[in-house]
Amino acid sequence: MNHTTSILFLIQHWRLFAMADGYTLHNTVIDTEPVEGGYLPAFTGAYGTRVVVDMAKPMPTEEAARNCLRDVLWGAHIEGRICLLRHPLEANATQEQAA
């Protein structure tokens, strides 16, 4: 399933498709969508849902598009609007797998 959202609604989509119980699911993949003139930031979250962030002007490189998304997410994390910390259940699963 694909969704396109503006940068204004990015945090709402992150909450819906990349978070559970107030924590970020760390299997969420931040990547880009190639478009005419550059790249748009994107992420693939829960249930394979892909969200592409529509911007007035695409970013010139994939790295710039990913960093743009990361900067917005980090700002929202600092403001307390989202939490980028690993979900505790995922952390426990990783520790169990490593044992």
2 Rama class: left (phi>0) / alpha (psi -120 to 50) / beta = beta
Closest CA to 27 of 37, 35, 19: 19
Give the tens place of pLDDT for each residue, 57-99.
999 999 999 999 999 999 999 999 999 998 777 666 544 443 3
Q: What are the Cα distances from residue 3, in Å, to 28, 42, 89, 90?
A: 15, 10, 27, 25
Mean pLDDT of 49-61: 95
